[in-house]
Amino acid sequence: MSRTTASSDVASPLHADASSPEFVPRRWLETLARAGGHWPNIAIGCALLSTLVLLAQAWSIARLAQGVAIERESLMTLWPAIAVLAASLSLRGALGGLRSYAGTRASQQIRRRLRERLLQRFAELGPLWVHRQHRASLANRVWDQVESLHGYYADFRPQTRLAGLIPLLLLAVVFPLNWAAGLILAITAPLVPIFMILVGIAARKRSREQFQEMDRMGRHFMDLLTGLKTLKLFGSARRGAQVEAVSHAFRKRTMRVLRLAFLSSTVLEFFTAVSIALLAVYLGFHFLGHLQFGTWDEAPLTLQTALFILVLAPEFYQPLRELGVHYHAKAEAEAAALDLAPIVGATPFSRQQTPDDVNTAPPRSATRPIALSTLRLQDVSVRHAGQLPDTPPALGPLSLQITAGERIAITGCSGAGKSTLLNLLLGFVEVADGMLSLNGHPLTQGLPAGTATWVGQETVVLSGTLADNLRLAKPQASDDELEAALAKADLATWHASLPHGLATPLGEGGQPLSGGQARRLSLARAFLHDAPLVLLDEPTASLDAESEARVIRALQRLGEDRTLLLLTHRPELLPLCQRLIRLEGGRLVEDRHLQATSPRGDA
């Protein structure tokens, strides 16, 4: 079946640039932002346009106050200011809603692309790496950690641009009116980002601790649910104390993060209030005649100008305040980046190939499988990630030649290297020494995609129709091809009994499958995929005698014009094979031809 291969380090597939001490989470988050399209720029544009509308709103408020309190103007002369105020309020509300929508859309696109890339990387790294990860950890990465990026892209990242642009725009408006007021705003503004930096150092650390605690809680619950049957059999199903302890630890971590976020917001509000009060005190003393400075031409400061500046003052600090409010989103995102970046790489959406992508890119022959003539292993050795150099390899040195059409049984005790050999051929582990070649051409990453089909002991049945499950092996297959594959896999009678035929739903809530039916469903997929080499891992394990006989009949048909490699301990499968290979300690200890006999269950 089509697949891409993993990186050389299966146990820890970290990209060198993402795992190095020089890795900067902020830069990695910026590379993801490219998937947001034009929505981030739309959000920023709406905020800037709203600031321009704010100038009209501030003017209308100041004009109304000046006209009513000082000049005693009639309502008829003030109606233009009233109309501008109503229009500006409505327009700012609409722009605020559009900005929020654009930020959310950008975040959705980025998170969707990142989840797709994560799932793609899981497939590239292969089953060995996935099986070594806890299922709760994988789910936590795909859902919770990716979800934690929402606040960063929807709120914090656009706000970092606005926190610099909007204050500069307002300063450009205030300074020509009163340089003292502009100076007060310019001097007090840095207090907010300085405090944010101090808070951010602690927030990132606590956010990462919260992710770790969430991962631990998920692992605990998953282990508890998985082993619930065993715990109940031994009378240990009541484990409320342990569940309560894990939940309490996670709750404490969460409250620490929230406490820090609330504290930062309170302090930011305090600094903002003090700064606005300082500006108001200056303007008040200026009107009282105690602070006669700040104007450019020594002209007296009017009430309209003072109110205009005071209305703009809260909006001057508002971008900085919002940046502080959303600063915890940056801490959460950077904590998630430290865990996700080593998996997806430092440039997950880059179109240019990185050195690691060279190892994981699918071969050019992915859509055109190469016919198998001769598969040869010459002094091949395989070492698992983290294995010490002075320890024996997991497989090898092994020399072996397989020719087209052979049906080979591979036997050996547990740990003999059988599964490692299959993973080597599938490209999930790499050759440490020696050479693997196909038809005389050396291979560096296992067999080309489409050349081999793998049938394991466990059949994955997805929630979907029978046709959907079969088309995993050949998406463009017609209904006739699906029915022919079912017949070859000895499932024709079962298919005929289904209430809706190929449209019958399987999986959770659908048509149940017995162990033998599920195994033959895997064989039907192998018939559909029609690869020249079929790798089978204990195809009749845990089956009753009748189901085993049906699987053997299907295997006979599967091996008529294909090369079969069967990992098995079952003597009932040996009559299917022409050759027996026995491994021990990763080495070849027996390679002999078998006498052709009729296997049990042959029709």
226-253 average pLDDT score: 71
**Distances from the Cα of 602 to the Cαs of 11, 41, 410, 526, 554, in angstroms?**
42, 68, 21, 20, 9
Regarding whether 377 and 343 lie in a shared domain, the answer is no
Q: Using the 3D structure, point to which of 348, 374, 396 is the last residue of a domain.
A: 348
pLDDT score for 2: 35
- Asked if residue 355 is part of any domain, the answer here is no
CA torsion sign for 393, 394, 400, 402 is: negative
CA torsion sign for 316, 320, 325, 326 is: positive
Regarding whether 383 and 429 lie in a shared domain, the answer is yes
Neighbours of 250 (CB within 10 A): 19
> Model confidence over 472-483: pLDDT tens digits?
999 999 999 999
Regarding whether 201 and 76 lie in a shared domain, the answer is yes
Task: Provide the mean pLDDT of the chain.
Answer: 81
242: Cα separation from own chain's centroid: 30
| C-alpha angle 508-512-515 in degrees, rounded to nearest 5 | 115
- Asked if residue 342 is part of any domain, the answer here is yes
Look at 218 and 456; give whichever has higher pLDDT. Answer: 456
| CB-based burial label for 133 (10 Å; 0-12, 13-18, 19+) | middle
> Model confidence over 38-58: pLDDT tens digits?
999 999 999 999 999 999 999
Domain residues for 500? 362-603
**Distances from the Cα of 507 to the Cαs of 62, 118, 495, 540, in angstroms?**
67, 24, 15, 21
Whole-number Å distance between alpha carbons of 140 and 159: 27
- Asked if residue 415 is part of any domain, the answer here is yes
Confidence check: pLDDT of 98 > 70: yes
pLDDT tier, 288 (very low <50, low <70, confident <90, very high otherwise)? confident
Category of 200 on φ-ψ map: left (φ > 0), alpha (ψ -120 to 50) or beta: alpha
Long-range CB pairs of 393-397 (<8 Å, 24+ gap) are: 393/432, 393/433, 393/586, 394/420, 394/586, 395/420, 395/421, 395/424, 395/583, 395/586, 396/432, 396/433, 396/434, 396/586, 396/587, 397/433, 397/434, 397/587
- Asked if residue 357 is part of any domain, the answer here is no
Confidence check: pLDDT of 597 > 60: no
Regarding whether 593 and 466 lie in a shared domain, the answer is yes
pLDDT score for 359: 37
Beta bridge partners of 381: 433
Regarding whether 254 and 386 lie in a shared domain, the answer is no
Confidence check: pLDDT of 78 > 50: yes
CA torsion sign for 503, 508, 511, 512 is: positive
Helices (runs of H) and strands (runs of E) counted in the chain: 21, 12
Residues in Cβ contact with 462 at an 8 Å cutoff, skipping those fewer than 6 apart: 468, 469, 472, 506, 507
Regarding whether 540 and 455 lie in a shared domain, the answer is yes
| C-alpha angle 384-387-388 in degrees, rounded to nearest 5 | 150
> Model confidence over 375-429: pLDDT tens digits?
999 999 988 776 777 788 888 889 999 999 999 999 988 888 888 898 888 888 8
pLDDT tier, 10 (very low <50, low <70, confident <90, very high otherwise)? very low
For residue 577, give both structure tokens: 């094979």
Regarding whether 295 and 385 lie in a shared domain, the answer is no
Regarding whether 401 and 310 lie in a shared domain, the answer is no
| CATH assignment of the domain containing 128 | 1.20.1560.10
Confidence check: pLDDT of 175 > 70: yes
Residues in Cβ contact with 96 at an 8 Å cutoff, skipping those fewer than 6 apart: 46, 50
> Model confidence over 257-271: pLDDT tens digits?
677 666 666 777 777
pLDDT score for 86: 94
Whole-number Å distance between alpha carbons of 397 and 431: 10
pLDDT score for 352: 39
Regarding whether 343 and 373 lie in a shared domain, the answer is no
Whole-number Å distance between alpha carbons of 298 and 405: 100
Confidence check: pLDDT of 153 > 80: yes
Regarding whether 243 and 127 lie in a shared domain, the answer is yes
pLDDT score for 496: 92
- Asked if residue 295 is part of any domain, the answer here is yes
Whole-number Å distance between alpha carbons of 76 and 567: 94
Please give the tally of structural domains in the chain: 2
- Asked if residue 341 is part of any domain, the answer here is yes
In the Cβ-directed half-sphere of 41, how many Cα atoms lie within 13 Å? 4
Whole-number Å distance between alpha carbons of 323 and 319: 6
Contact in structure between 7 and 125 (CB atoms under 8 Å)? yes
- Asked if residue 414 is part of any domain, the answer here is yes
Q: Using the 3D structure, point to which of 348, 381, 407 is the last residue of a domain.
A: 348
Please tell me which of 301-305, 370-374, 434-438 the model is most confident about, judged by mean pLDDT.
434-438
pLDDT score for 206: 67
Regarding whether 385 and 277 lie in a shared domain, the answer is no
Confidence check: pLDDT of 114 > 90: yes
Which residue reads 């091996």 in tokens?
559
Whole-number Å distance between alpha carbons of 31 and 63: 47
| CATH assignment of the domain containing 466 | 3.40.50.300
What DSSP designation does 376 have? E
Give the 3-state secondary structure of 175-228.
CCCCHHHHHHHHHHCCHHHHHHHHHHHHHHHHHHHHHHHHHHHHHHHHHHHHCH
589-598 average pLDDT score: 78
- Asked if residue 481 is part of any domain, the answer here is yes
Which H helix or E strand runs over 434? strand 433-438
Which residue reads 């950890």 in tokens?
137
Which H helix or E strand runs over 436? strand 433-438
Q: What pTM was estimated for this model as a whole?
A: 0.66
Confidence check: pLDDT of 203 > 70: no
Backbone angles phi, psi at 119, to 5 degrees: -65, -35
Regarding whether 318 and 369 lie in a shared domain, the answer is no
> Model confidence over 547-585: pLDDT tens digits?
888 999 999 999 888 999 999 888 888 888 999 999 998
